[in-house]
Amino acid sequence: MSVAGAVGTRTDGTEDEYATLENRINTLRVLVVTDGNKIAVNHKLTPEELAAQTVTIENVPVGKVTFCVLANEAALGKDYDTEEFELVDVPGRTSKKALLEDPDRTYFPKRFSEVNIDKGLPMSWIVRDYEVKSGSPTGTPGEPLEAQLVRCVAKLNISMNNDLDSEINIKAVNFGTFFGDRLYLFGEQSLDVPGSTAYEAKSYPYETEADYIKIPAYGEKMLVCYIYPSYAWLPEMTDSPYTIGFATLAKGTYPQKAFIAEGALKSIARNTQVNIRATLSVDARLILKYEVVDWGKKEITVPPFN
């Protein structure tokens, strides 16, 4: 398990800075849950265990269990040494799921420049119905239990392109009503969003001229934003809520346009990256292109469970 180094003051990030933040593991917690939805083991790795890249978990129950791994819980404002996991019923299944609620959206969405490197981004992994046999503890030297951590959030990677022959000063970036307020800590399918999620619009105003996003003629600037998984375009809705627009100092307002349009993907899953290319042209004309790509997985090996 590797822990990346720190990043200094950040505005527009480089690819290396993004990767350092997005892959960094500051804390790691291992859970063992029995069939009765009881947390039998709740072990947060010590700094020494993180550094040594090995850990032995004692008193793992024999039989079928669920293994969970959670990284960087502080990024969600949690300390599960002192707080309890909120386990909730889910329609159509007997096992409960761990829910994280953030009604004030305190922790996400966040722009890249707002993320605390010492907290990082939340990541998790889960495997259910793992058989632990008496006399053959899992995680013996030949059989490490391998986990692939995935980020609990999604990434909006916004490329703002100036198609004009003069500088553009962006005063605000405005988004539609697709920012959620909760997530399941451990995703178990491609789109795993709580049905009770509430969505709201989001605007990032830049109050002073010194703060404006200044894009030179025919130039480009990047804005990265991390959000909870989103299923905001419900079947009964006609128009896409996945929109983006801009307010500028002298070039007018670029009204919001859908970057996820009719017939296309109607959601944003965890651990995915949505690349949005916004071209600001004449007469406040906004041209949008987008693609959804794999954000990549952070692979770790969970060492011996005895």
Residue-wise pLDDT tens digits, 104-139? 999 999 999 999 999 999 999 999 988 887 655 554
Give me the pLDDT at residue 296, please. 62
Report the chain's mean pLDDT, rounded to a whole number: 85
CATH code matching the domain that covers 15-152+297-302, chosen among 2.60.120, 3.20.170, 2.60.40, 3.30.420:
2.60.40
How big, in percent rounded to 5, are the helix, strand and coil portions of the chain? 10, 45, 50
Q: Which of 282, 10, 287, 11 is nearest to 168 (CA)?
A: 282
Domain ranges of the chain: 15-152+297-302, 154-294
Tokens, residue 97: 């799921």
Mean pLDDT of 266-290: 89
Tokens, residue 143: 């059989």
Whether 38 contacts 140, CB under 8 Å: no
pTM of the model: 0.88
HEC profile of 80-101: CCCCCCEEECCCCCCCCEEEEE
Chain centroid to Cα 289, Å, comes to 22
What class, spelled out in words, does domain 154-294 have in CATH?
mainly beta
Instruction: Look at 27-36, 42-51, 149-158, 242-251 and tell me which has the smallest mean pLDDT.
Output: 42-51
Bridge partners (DSSP) listed for residue 123: 71, 151
- Three-state DSSP at 227 gives strand
Given pLDDT bands bounded at 50, 70 and 90, which one contains residue 147?
confident
Q: What are phi and psi of 237, to 5 degrees?
A: -95, 140
Q: How far is CA 115 from CA 99, 153, 166, 244, 271, in A?
A: 22, 13, 32, 22, 16
The answer to whether domain 15-152+297-302 and domain 154-294 are alike in fold is yes
Distance in Å from the first CA to the final CA of the chain: 19
Handedness of CA 186, 129, 81, 3 (dihedral sign): negative
Is the pLDDT at 9 greater than 70? The verdict is no
Number of residues that this document lists for the chain = 306
Residue-wise pLDDT tens digits, 203-221? 999 989 899 999 999 999 9
Given pLDDT bands bounded at 50, 70 and 90, which one contains residue 150?
very high
Count of CB atoms situated within 10 Å of the CB of 300: 19
| Amino acid at site 296 | G
What share of the chain in percent tops pLDDT 90?
58
